[in-house]
Chain A
């Protein structure tokens, strides 16, 4: 980013401000300036006065928003989207190919306790854990050959979110909001919801790293329903909206005099505008987070509970132009079922499957699925062998696991790649997390090799020096 003082970049803005005079408040200035694409530019450099103004990517693309379901802890692929009948043959015995080294010792093959069934025209098999998601399987590209680098939560979370296991790098959401800005200046551009607290590694999962702090994810503890706990400083508790409007009109009048005495200064103009945006944000955010405004049949579609609410909020945010929404399953690492995986996975999937399925259908029905890229997955999968000594759970497995993509230009009803016979290691059409990132950036209109930020003397990328776009996943 240009460290020089801000330069005026939209010549018409000052004129507009003058023409609209003092009564800025009622006018949807934000919409005129920010939402119309006026400020959109293909240049990568964001303007510090308008860091979140919409910007065009490298090339035209379908996907404009991202929703990332993060099943933190690591959902088991062999129990969800990657059926492995061979495990049943070896139940209780060692698999012939040997166990791979993971975080903890594992023993015999552990067949999935869940039944798989074919869904949709594509006939892709999905386990009984995700029947609602499965109904939309023809929209989904199931990547069964994902792999990461290490069998530990921390580095794998960082790799999945930031493309680098240890060093401080911006998260994917930060990169994308840096690259595209956002379409609604009245809402945060990058929203992270996690009910009940933080996942492991806390805010590093949505860090802006060396990008300006404004691109960091806005964390929301989605177990709350009270707006003030959801968005900081969103409510004025000291006066009616009309009274606050009157006060802001005074501020605007005085600011105009101040500006007039100083001639052109984009910095001052931007700050004047930011108060108008903030004023509108107060009502818009309240509205966006209030799911009770949804009709009953939509509420029924998503079902009861926290996950239904946060997923529905995600749709409302995307609908309003928010760029990137990340939905975590819960604080800590709920999907990390080292033992008792049958009961635990059933409970966890039960909490989120209906809402996930509902989201896909809802987006589709509203015509939003085409422009919304949905990513589903954990930081890794789980071993097909049982963890010792309990014998009824699974250890972390980064060698091969499943993530899926839907919407946003993704080829639906498609299975990409495969793990070995037992689901241990990705063996066919392998997709490293860097490849996943490269592909997602491609779907959003970015050449991942050219999408860079100069920092500490180097041009950094989300994919560092790695990543290949997985062409087969792209819809034709």
Chain B
């Protein structure tokens, strides 16, 4: 790549001695020609083209690739990939390369080639030295401050419930907020639902199960307000509550029971311990801030709180680790973790900033990589869950043996990491040449699995390429010489190298100094080829490496602190090429897996298998968790921006820290290890305007089927504002005040009049507010997949209410009777049953479920043997089969299935069906009563909640 700054550097080096590579003598070619006849040409022929075709993406509003072409200074500086205009030299200008459309990877403007005339004009303009009248650019304010007034970033308020006209209706402050808006819209709320409907709504809502006929009778017969409170308390205390609400959270957490498609790596997966932890956390009403802290950093909390002998909370970290594996691409795995944390907990679409600053929200790419650094600073591991207090001797022994095997794996990673880095440091000459070659190739993502341990690493070549690109842009005292030589065409190398060598030795320009050690490389005979230059650099750095190691071992022998740097100011920059934070050999330890090639991968798999085999062979099989563990301090990788999201395209270094938009003025980089615990604390800080609002909104969504903020995982600038902003804040404030208690939040909501409304349509109200955004009625809803399957088992008297444990197959016979939350969620191939009933697709975080109505749902209910089995069990229940009177049988079936008595017509329809049927026909499979029971399970009333 012939970037203009290369030429500039070379031109400087040779001072006025001779012409090198066609530069214009003595003058920095990035100078702007600001006057003369070019001005008119620019105004007439160039500015209109730039304005029309370029500035939409490279102008005031947007600066794709960091480039803007609406101002002279910025245009000539170029973008993140360096200058695009080499004044005077169209052939060396990437802008010209782009508009010619000859290179597949660089074609601008993207929507079509410019006219030949326009291309000729731009070439001519650059040939003239790219004259740009001074002051002609308009430097406008970049960015916009619209976000500063965005509702979601304002502190959470504690508004007074508004006054309302109808003072009889509100039971709680929530109702005042709702009613005020209804009244303003000229709407009245709907009357309260009957007790039966209310209990059904509550019971399904809080536990995912239907109330029993007895529970309904008790509730209907006790119309006191205390009865309602008692029912709510009873439901919240039931273990079924956590099984229901835990599942809501598992949607957020993209929960599945396996990794999904994978090419290699271990199959080991312990998602279910996370599922059980979540369920238990809901049942225990673990405060939501603590709930989040443990999911992000339970490992750190154990250490900090001195409770390392009780590891059971580590299961919480499944929130980070149950995601898909993206063919083990670490960058994508981290992206998924950033996504589940930011969309799931903060309602921010931070992963939009992976490749460019967020288009709408105040999330710069740098912030994305700050979070990236947090997660890259941890390694995934599995750990046994135990409490030392209740651990047996055998369990302790098991744990010891396991730890030994795990240490073997860790040591392997550390050993290979050290070896790899040592090898990369010793191969500078080769990598320099390869990195240089790569500079002229179009940027490509790295291929998968092509790393062969005996060959140069593609990853490291990419690092060198980025390193060279970077050092080429400014003036780098160590590599300026390299760039000057690298710029020579091979045919002219021998002829022109002596002049460059001379200039380097002279080291005469104080503004562009050459590192003394580097300058001394070019004493004596000038290099005959670029390979020779690479060799000299290689030897120099190999010497530096030796010297540094000696320095370290001397310091160790003397028993002192190991030195952090060389004293010698010429040596230290060289050391930093090999050890500095921007060193091209600095690869994270997690990448070892990709760098060791197939034999190394086999070794890693063997070590993993040893662990898995040991676990499998032990009769103890204690539950395990998939956790993140802090990487060793030495391996802690300083994050850098990946420009355009490409790991090979390294940008500036960024600190590990929280999002700027949520940090206020005094944002400080995280200082403890990876910063994961600090991140978690920043997220649950009460001053954070999002965490409480987002969760309150999710809980509201689950109760009403529609949320106050209609996009529950996106509270950004493009989201629709809340229907009731004051209510959202009021709830969020109460939520935090009441110790982040989710159960208290439920009580607040379900005790309100708005929750207890009827769900029937009202034509006039529907005309004013067709979407029921103002909640003039309760939304009528269909049971979701889990509730439907559980309900089928429950009415059949078959439901196994047992809690916890490894997942069970619920798709194939013999059919499990466990609650659906315990069903095996196969991410590799989510069974049709799950998809048909709108289950949360576990590939990514799921903000809310869809509700579709398709015949495949009907087919399952009509024909699947599981459903038929439940119909048979229902008919065989003691109170049904044991009841001789067919009318009473129907009454009992209605009580079981719908929680109400049938009306006389319904009884007649049922009897008519049963008696006119074909009992004598050749349908031996089902009796008429069984078929009737089956029919009841197909009914709308069975799956709909009023």
Interface residues of chain A, those whose CB is within 8 Å of chain B, are: 1-7, 48-52, 101, 103, 147, 149-152, 154-155, 165-168, 185-186, 188, 198, 201-204, 207-210, 212-214, 216, 218-219, 232-240, 243-244, 246-248, 250-251, 253-255, 257-259, 262-265, 267-268, 270-272, 274-275, 277-279, 281-282, 430, 456-458, 468
- Which residues of chain A are near B714, meaning CB under 8 Å? 456-457
How near does chain B come to A274, taking the closest CB pair, in angstroms?
5
Cα distance, A49 to B860, chains bound together (Å): 18
Q: Are B705 and A166 in contact (CB under 8 A)?
A: no
Q: How far is the CB of B413 from chain A (nearest CB, A)?
A: 24
Task: Write out the residue numbers on chain B whose beta carbons fall within 8 Å of the beta carbon of A203.
Answer: 828-830
- Indicate whether A103 sits within 8 Å of B450 (C-beta atoms), given known contacts A208-B841, A238-B926: yes
How near does chain B come to A152, taking the closest CB pair, in angstroms? 5
Q: Is the CB of B352 within 8 A of A456?
A: yes
| Sample of 21 A–B contacts (CB below 8 Å) | A3-B710, A3-B848, A5-B772, A51-B853, A101-B447, A149-B445, A150-B448, A202-B261, A202-B828, A204-B260, A207-B843, A233-B856, A238-B868, A247-B935, A254-B935, A255-B939, A268-B944, A271-B782, A271-B943, A272-B940, A275-B855
Tell me the smallest distance from the CB of A170 to a CB of chain B, in Å: 11
| CB within 8 Å for A233 and B860 given contacts A48-B850, A154-B263, A243-B918 | yes
Shortest Cβ gap from B787 to chain A (Å)? 15
Pair B859/A234 contact, Cβ less than 8 Å: yes
With A and B bound together, what is the CA distance between A250 and B936 in angstroms? 9
Is B854's CB under 8 angstroms from A52's CB?
yes
Q: Is A152 within 8 A of B447, CB to CB?
A: yes
Q: Which residues of B, 289-348, contact A by the 8 Å Cβ criterion?
A: 324, 326-327, 329, 332, 335, 339, 343
**B857 contacts A168, C-beta separation under 8 Å:** no
> Is B864 touching A233 in the complex (CB atoms < 8 A)?
yes
**Bound complex: CA of A210 vs CA of B846, how far in Å?**
9
CB A475 to nearest CB in B, in angstroms, measures: 22
A-B pairs, 3 with minimum CB distance: A278-B858, A457-B349, A278-B855
What is the bound-complex CA distance between A191 and B719, given in angstroms?
Answer: 35
Q: Measured between alpha carbons, how far is A267 from B771 in the docked complex, in Å?
A: 14
Q: Is the CB of A239 within 8 A of B923?
A: yes
Q: How far is the CB of B707 from chain A (nearest CB, A)?
A: 8
The answer to whether A274 and B857 touch across the interface, beta carbons within 8 angstroms, is yes
From B835, which residue of chain A is reached at the shortest CB distance? Answer: A213
Q: Are B939 and A258 in contact (CB under 8 A)?
A: yes
Which chain B residues lie closer than 8 Å to A152 at the CB level?
Answer: 447-449
Q: Is there an interface contact between B829 and A202, defined as CB atoms closer than 8 Å?
A: yes
B: contact size bracket: 35 or more
Main SS at interface, chain A: loop
Knowing A202-B829, A251-B935 touch, does A457 contact B719 (C-beta < 8 A)?
yes
Selected contact of A154 from candidates B327, B711, B925, CB within 8 Å: B327
Which of B502-510, B743-751, B905-913 binds A? Answer: B905-913
Binding site for A on B (CB under 8 A): 104, 111, 260-261, 263, 324, 326-327, 329, 332, 335, 339, 343, 349, 351-352, 359-361, 444-445, 447-450, 705-707, 710-711, 713-714, 716, 718-719, 760-761, 770-773, 779-782, 828-830, 832-836, 838-839, 841, 843-844, 847-848, 850-860, 862-865, 868, 905-906, 909-910, 913, 917-918, 921-923, 925-926, 931-932, 934-935, 938-941, 943-944, 946
Is there contact, CB below 8 Å, between B705 and A275? no
Closest to A198 in B: B829
CA distance A277 to B104 in the complex (A): 50
Is there an interface contact between B858 and A48, defined as CB atoms closer than 8 Å? no
Question: Considering the chains assembled together, what is the distance between the CA atoms of A52 and B923 in angstroms?
Answer: 35
Query: Contact check: which of B853, B864, B926 meets A270 at CB < 8 Å?
Result: B853
| Residue of A whose beta carbon sits closest to that of B858 | A278
Tell whether, in the assembled complex, residue B863 and residue A234 are in contact, meaning their CB atoms are under 8 Å apart: yes
- B706 A251 Cβ-Cβ under 8 A: no
Q: Are A4 and B710 in contact (CB under 8 A)?
A: yes
> Nearest chain B CB to A69's CB is how many angstroms away?
22
Partner of A204, one of B261, B705, B864, B938: B261
Add 5 more A-B contacts to A237-B865, A279-B862 (CB < 8 A).
Answer: A6-B851, A103-B449, A198-B829, A235-B863, A262-B946
Q: Is the CB of A275 within 8 A of B843?
A: no
Query: Which of A6, A247, A279 is the most central at the interface, judged by chain B CB atoms within 10 Å of its CB?
Result: A247
| CA–CA, A259 and B832, complex, Å | 29
Asked if A251 contacts B939 (CB within 8 A), the reply is: yes
Interface of B is mostly: loop
B713 / chain A contacts, CB cutoff of 8 Å = 456
In the assembled complex, the Cα of A101 lies from the Cα of B716 at a distance in Å of 43
CB distance from A107 to the nearest CB of B (A): 17
Q: Let me know if A239 and B925 touch, CB within 8 A.
A: yes
CA distance A185 to B834 in the complex (A): 20
A202 partner residues in chain B, CB cutoff 8 A = 261, 828-829
In the complex, the answer to whether B352 meets A458 with C-beta atoms within 8 Å is yes
**Complexed CA–CA distance, A361 and B329 (Å):** 45
Please measure, in the bound complex, the distance between the C-alpha atom of A188 and the C-alpha atom of B857, giving whole angstroms: 12
B835 interface neighbour in A216, A275, A430, Cβ under 8 Å: A216
A244 to B925, CA, bound (A): 12
From A213, A218, A258, A456, contact of B841 by CB (8 A): A213
Nearest residue (CB) in B for A235 is: B863
How far, in whole Å, are A236 and B917 apart by their CA atoms in the complex?
Answer: 17
The residues of A that contact B859 with a CB separation of less than 8 Å are 232-234, 278, 281-282
Q: In whole angstroms, what is the CA distance A277 to B926 when docked?
A: 23
Q: Enumerate chain A residues within 8 angstroms of B773, measured Cβ to Cβ.
A: 4
Tell whether, in the assembled complex, residue B923 and residue A213 are in contact, meaning their CB atoms are under 8 Å apart: no
Min CB gap B501→A, angstroms:
32
Q: Which of B335, B445, B940 contacts A255 (CB 8 A)?
A: B940
CB pair A166–B853 under 8 Å, yes or no, is no
Q: A20–B511 Cα gap in the complex (Å)? A: 91
Q: Which residues of the partner chain A approach B939 to less than 8 Å between Cβ atoms? A: 251, 254-255, 258
Which A-chain residue is minimally distant from B715 (CB atoms)?
A457
Choose one: B361, B771, B862; the contact of A275 (CB below 8 Å). Answer: B862
Q: Which residues of A have CB within 8 Å of B855?
A: 185-186, 274-275, 277-278, 281
A213 touching B850 by the CB < 8 A rule? yes
Pick the residue among A154, A239, A263, A275 that contacts B938 (CB under 8 A): A275
Pairwise interchain contact A51-B921, C-beta atoms closer than 8 A = no
Asked if B856 contacts A155 (CB within 8 A), the reply is no
Q: What CA separation (Å) do A236 and B938 show in the bound complex? A: 14
Which of A7, A238, A270: most chain B CB closer than 10 A?
A238
**B858 neighbours in A (Cβ, 8 Å):** 271, 274-275, 277-279
B832-A218 in contact (CB<8A): yes
Cβ-defined contact, A168 with B843, below 8 A: yes
Partner pick for A456 among B343, B851, B862, B934, CB 8 A cutoff: B343
Q: Kindly list chain B residues whose C-beta atoms are within 8 Å of the C-beta of A267.
A: 780, 782, 851, 853, 944
A235 to B864, CA, bound (A): 9
Determine whether the beta carbon of B923 is less than 8 Å from that of A458: no
Point out the residues of chain A lying under 8 angstroms from B707, CB to CB.
Answer: 3
Cross-chain contact A5 with B706 (CB below 8 angstroms): yes
Are B940 and A4 interface neighbours, CB within 8 A? no
* Residues in B whose Cβ lies below 8 Å from that of A207: 841, 843
**B residues in contact with A277, CB < 8 Å:** 855, 858
| Bound-complex Cα distance A152 to B448 (A) | 7
Q: A243 contacts which of B711, B719, B856, B921 (Cβ < 8 Å)?
A: B921
Docked Cα-Cα span, A475 to B233, in Å, equals: 69
A89 CB, min distance to chain B CBs, angstroms: 27
CA distance A39 to B327 in the complex (A): 42
Report whether B761 and A263 are in contact in the complex, using a CB–CB cutoff of 8 Å: yes
Of chain B, the residue at the smallest CB distance from A242 is B918
B866 to chain A, nearest CB (A): 10
Given A52-B854, A278-B858, is A150 in contact with B828 using a C-beta cutoff of 8 Å? no
Known: A151-B447, A238-B923, A456-B343. A167 touches B332 (CB 8 A): yes
Residues on the B chain within 8 Å of A244, using CB = 862
Q: Are B854 and A51 in contact, with the CB atoms below 8 A?
A: yes
Kindly provide the distance from the CB of A322 to the nearest chain B CB, expressed in whole angstroms: 14
Residue among A48, A151, A275 with the most chain B CB within 10 A? A275
State whether B349 touches A456 (Cβ < 8 A). Answer: yes
CA–CA, A468 to B925, complex, Å? 59
